[in-house]
């Protein structure tokens, strides 16, 4: 698996060279002279990246001062920092006083056997590390400097410039430096994970970061990525707000529902249960992206209002993280390789309409919010139709209910473009294979879903299998 992953990094590096050499940096950032530039007279390759941190520079410096293996780490993906070998990097989430004392000549290690030296130290203003990576016998293939320069801004924020400069001593050094710089760039962007919907309290495989991201985490957050993550994070918080003074469930008050819906609701919700309007789910399962791949996910759902599904899966050993959502009246899909490289980024009217259809079908895993839909009888005693009005979209969902009250299937005509078809309405469905009691409510726990449900193309269209492991009703 490792050769495949490394080959993928090299290929991506070739495709995205211009972006990862200057991510977040302006033309002025690229050309200005920084501390440490004088150390290498001839440079074969350089990268300057810039980040705006929403805190003062004196709060940022202590995080820079404790960089290094065996110290504060590099505030990035542990798995990525340990990609090539087990080098025992662990990222700090607080300031450690004994790591604050550096001097010119001090060692800051990339790995146990890969020390860099402090070449320039201007406390609070600049830290420049210098070194190389030995490769077998003979001289290392390149000399290297790594500068961290925080610059206070008039608005009280800090602009952090991070510069790498490489001087080759071997012709083949570029074969090492190019993928190394991509990995460095991904690490440099990773603090956005502390703020996206998959990171704080709603992360899936990477379930929890620090409750409050350290100021130093901002040193590796690109401003635009942080803004996007912050916006969706606000949507998550809004959708997950506790229902104010919820009514409690009284079975005598649902006589207006069709018989199949009454059977489901009374089966799912014990009398006296608060009728919470949102639910947060944790789940794991398999999703088909080319082939079936394992995933973990967390989802917030408020029927009639919105949902965000934040998940992690892997391709060639590399994590793909992101989310699907309908919130604030729009839909979006945003997925990134190792948290940085765009894989899918889709929005617009078609995505919004499709996401609204998904939201309507999610009522089956949020039974206490059954009043978010309007209910009418289906074609027989075992079916009921839930009509949801979501933004500008009206979506009907058919529930097929077992005689004991459990939901068997959810069916709808959902907007989408399955298998590359033109956008339009296509059969979509969810089959409930098992149910359990979570959060005091009986609800689906093992499900399968996909396009062309109930047709001869169902096997082709199935792309989602999940086990719901927890539900927190709010």
The helix or strand, by DSSP H or E, that contains position 297, with its residue range, turns out to be strand 291-302
The helix or strand, by DSSP H or E, that contains position 434, with its residue range, turns out to be strand 424-438
- Kindly report the pTM of this predicted structure: 0.60
Q: Which domains does the chain have, with CATH numbers?
A: 2-220 (3.30.530.20), 244-473 (2.50.20)
pLDDT tens sequence across 181-209? 555 555 544 433 333 333 333 333 333 33
Share of the chain above pLDDT 70, in %: 73
Whole-angstrom distance, CA of residue 91 vs CA of residue 398: 48
**Dihedral of the alpha carbons of 370, 372, 377, 382, in degrees to the nearest 10:** -30
pLDDT tens sequence across 60-81? 888 888 888 788 776 554 444 4
The helix or strand, by DSSP H or E, that contains position 439, with its residue range, turns out to be none
pLDDT tens sequence across 277-306? 999 999 999 999 878 999 999 999 999 999
Rounded to an integer, what is the distance from CA 69 to the centroid of its chain?
A: 25
Residue 7: pLDDT band with limits 50, 70, 90: very low
88, 91, 165: which is closest to 132 by C-alpha?
165
What are the residues facing 76 on neighbouring strands? none
pLDDT tens sequence across 235-248? 888 999 999 999 99
111, 104, 101: which is closest to 68 by C-alpha?
111
Q: What pLDDT shows up at residue 215? A: 34
Query: Range with the lowest mean pLDDT among 58-62, 78-82, 96-100, 363-367?
Result: 78-82
Residue 357: pLDDT band with limits 50, 70, 90: very high
> Within 13 Å of residue 161, how many CA atoms lie on the same side as its CB?
26
């Amino acid at each position: 698996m490792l050769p495949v992953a490394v080959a993928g990094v090299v290929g991506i590096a070739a495709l995205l060279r211009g972006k990862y050499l200057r991510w977040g940096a302006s033309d002025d950032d690229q050309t200005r002279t920084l501390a440490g530039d004088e150390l290498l007279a001839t440079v074969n390759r350089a990268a300057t990246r810039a980040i705006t941190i929403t805190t003062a520079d004196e709060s940022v410096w202590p995080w820079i001062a404790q960089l290094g293996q065996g110290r504060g780490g590099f505030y990035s993906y542990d798995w990525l920092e340990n990609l090539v070998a087990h080098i025992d990097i662990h990222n700090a989430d607080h300031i450690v006083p004994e790591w604050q004392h550096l001097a010119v000549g001090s060692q800051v290690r990339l790995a146990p056997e890969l020390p860099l030296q402090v070449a320039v130290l201007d406390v609070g203003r600049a830290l420049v590390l210098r070194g190389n990576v030995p490769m077998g016998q003979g001289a290392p293939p390149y000399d290297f400097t790594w500068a961290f320069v925080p610059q206070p801004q008039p608005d009280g924020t800090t602009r952090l410039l991070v510069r790498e400069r490489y001087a080759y001593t071997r012709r083949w050094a570029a074969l090492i430096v190019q993928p190394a710089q991509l990995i460095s760039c991904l690490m440099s962007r990773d603090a956005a994970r502390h703020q996206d919907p998959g990171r704080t309290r709603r992360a899936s495989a990477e379930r929890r970061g620090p409750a409050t991201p350290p100021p130093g985490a901002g040193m590796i957050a690109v401003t635009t990525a942080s803004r996007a993550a912050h916006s969706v994070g606000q949507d998550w918080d809004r959708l997950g707000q506790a229902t104010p003074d919820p009514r409690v469930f009284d079975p005598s008050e649902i006589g207006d529902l069709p018989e199949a819906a009454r059977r489901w609701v009374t089966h799912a919700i014990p009398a006296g249960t608060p009728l919470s309007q949102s639910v947060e789910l944790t789940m794991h399962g398999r999703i088909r992206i080319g082939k079936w791949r394992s995933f973990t996910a967390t989802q917030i759902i408020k029927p009639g209002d919105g949902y965000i599904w934040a998940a992690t899966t892997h391709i060639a050993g590399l994590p793909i993280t992101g989310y699907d959502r309908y919130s604030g009246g729009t839909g979006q899909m945003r997925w990134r390789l190792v948290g940085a490289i765009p894989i899918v980024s889709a929005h617009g009217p078609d995505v919004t309409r499709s996401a609204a259809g998904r939201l309507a079908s999610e009522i089956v895993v949020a039974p206490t919010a059954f009043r978010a839909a309007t209910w009418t009888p289906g074609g027989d005693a075992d079916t009921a139709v839930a009509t949801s009005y979501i933004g500008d979209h009206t979506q009907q969902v058919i529930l097929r209910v077992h005689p004991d009250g459990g939901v068997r299937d959810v069916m709808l005509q959902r907007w989408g473009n399955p298998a590359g078809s033109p956008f339009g309405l296509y059969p979509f469905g969810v089959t409930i294979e098992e149910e359990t009691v979570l959060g005091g409510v009986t609800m689906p726990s093992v499900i399968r879903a996909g396009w062309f449900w109930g047709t001869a193309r169902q096997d082709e269209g199935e792309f989602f299998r999940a086990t719901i492991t927890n539900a927190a009703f709010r």
